Amino acid sequence: MTTSISSVDTRALADALMALHTESPLVQCLTNVVVAQWTANVLLAVGAAPAMVDNPHEAGEFASIASGVLVNLGTPFDDTVAAMRSAVHSAAANATPWVLDPVAAGGLRWRTDLAIELLESSSPAIVRGNASEILALAGGSGGKGVDSTEAPEAALKAAKSVANRYDTIVAVSGPVDHITDGDRTVLISNGHPWMTQVTGVGCALGALMAAFAAVSTDRLIAAATATAALTVAADRAAATSRGPGSFAVRLIDELAALTPPELSTSVRLT
C-alpha cells in the first residue's frame, strides 16, 4: 500500500528541520573521497556539524559520541572498511542511528558483500540508494557503475523487502523519491535533473538522512525530511542557475536559506 503523507506529516517535516537547526547534531561521515568536501558543506548548510572521522584508529571511538553516522561505500579501501566496521559496531552499541549508502552495490562484488555484511551486523536507521543498488541488496543484479539503470518504481517491491528484512527504512532516489518502512511509503516529486549532473548529490542526501535521524525518532520522517529539504532547495537553486556548476553552488545557498515553513509549503508529496 502506497499512502501519501497527510498534511500532519508535512508539519512533521517542518518540525524535523526545526529540530536540526536547534540541535546541530554531530554527524560522523565515513564516505568516499570524491564527495567528502561537498558532503561536509551540505551538512553545514542545514546547520549540522560534520566530522569526517574515517580511520580505523578513531572511527569507533568517535561513533560513540556522534549523534548520527553515515557509511557510504563510494570509494572503500581496506583502511576505511575497517573503520566502517568499527563505527557500525560502536553505533549499534550506543544506539546511535547510522545510515548505509551502498554506492554501486550490485555492480561490484566486493562492496556488495560488504554492504550485506554491514546490513546483517546491525540494522541501519536508513538505507539510501538508487533503484539498481536497492535491487542488488534485495538479491537482484546491479547497475552500471554508480548510476541507476532502473526507475525507483521498479525497485519499490525490493525496497519494501529490504526494509522488512533488516528492520530499516529504505529510500530509493530518482525523479520521484520513494521512501518506505516496508508498510508506509512516502513519495516526493521535487527535484531537478541537474541533481544527476553534480557528483555526490545522492551521497549528500545520505548524510542529510544521518543528520535528520539524529534529531527525529521517526526514521521515516527523518528520511523524508532529508529528501524534501534537498529537493526543494534544488528546485529553487535550478531556477537561478545557468548549468550544473552554478546549480551546485546555489544548492548550498538555498539549503542554508530554507526555513521550516518554506519546506512544508514547497514539498510535493504525491
Chain positions contacting a copy of itself, by CB under 8 A: 26, 32-38, 40-41, 44-45, 49-55, 57-58, 61-62, 65-66, 74-79, 104, 107-111, 144-147, 196-200, 241-246, 248-254, 256-257
Asked if residues 69 and 210 have their Cβ atoms less than 8 Å apart, the reply is yes
| Cβ closest to a copy of itself, residue 109 vs residue 157 | 109
| Cβ closest to a copy of itself, residue 82 vs residue 182 | 82
- Cα–Cα distance for residue pair 63/68, rounded to 1 Å: 8
| Cβ closest to a copy of itself, residue 37 vs residue 265 | 37
Helix axes 7-23, 201-213, angle to 10 degrees: 90
Q: How far is the CB of 171 from a copy of itself (least distance, A)?
A: 22
Q: What is the DSSP string of 190-257?
A: ---GGGGSSTTHHHHHHHHHHHHHTT-S-HHHHHHHHHHHHHHHHHHHHHT-SSHHHHHHHHHHHHHH
- Cα–Cα distance for residue pair 104/102, rounded to 1 Å: 6
| Cβ closest to a copy of itself, residue 164 vs residue 266 | 266
Q: How far is the CB of 175 from a copy of itself (least distance, A)?
A: 17
Buried residues in 81-105 as b, exposed as e (16+ CB within 10 A) = bbbbbbbbbbbbeeebbbbbbbbbb
| Cβ closest to a copy of itself, residue 163 vs residue 234 | 234
| Cβ closest to a copy of itself, residue 31 vs residue 227 | 31
The shares of helix, strand and coil residues in the chain, as percent rounded to the nearest 5, are 55, 15, 30
CA atoms within 13 A on the CB side of 18: 10
| Cβ closest to a copy of itself, residue 11 vs residue 57 | 57
Q: How far is the CB of 156 from a copy of itself (least distance, A)?
A: 24
Q: How far is the CB of 232 from a copy of itself (least distance, A)?
A: 15
Rg (CA), the chain: 17
* β-strand pairing of 126-130 with 49-51: unpaired
Q: How far is the CB of 145 from a copy of itself (least distance, A)?
A: 4
Q: How far is the CB of 187 from a copy of itself (least distance, A)?
A: 26
Q: How far is the CB of 43 from a copy of itself (least distance, A)?
A: 8
Nearest to 266 by CA among 221, 224, 227, 235: 235
Q: How far is the CB of 243 from a copy of itself (least distance, A)?
A: 3
Asked if residues 142 and 104 have their Cβ atoms less than 8 Å apart, the reply is yes
Asked if residues 111 and 82 have their Cβ atoms less than 8 Å apart, the reply is no
| Cβ closest to a copy of itself, residue 44 vs residue 151 | 44
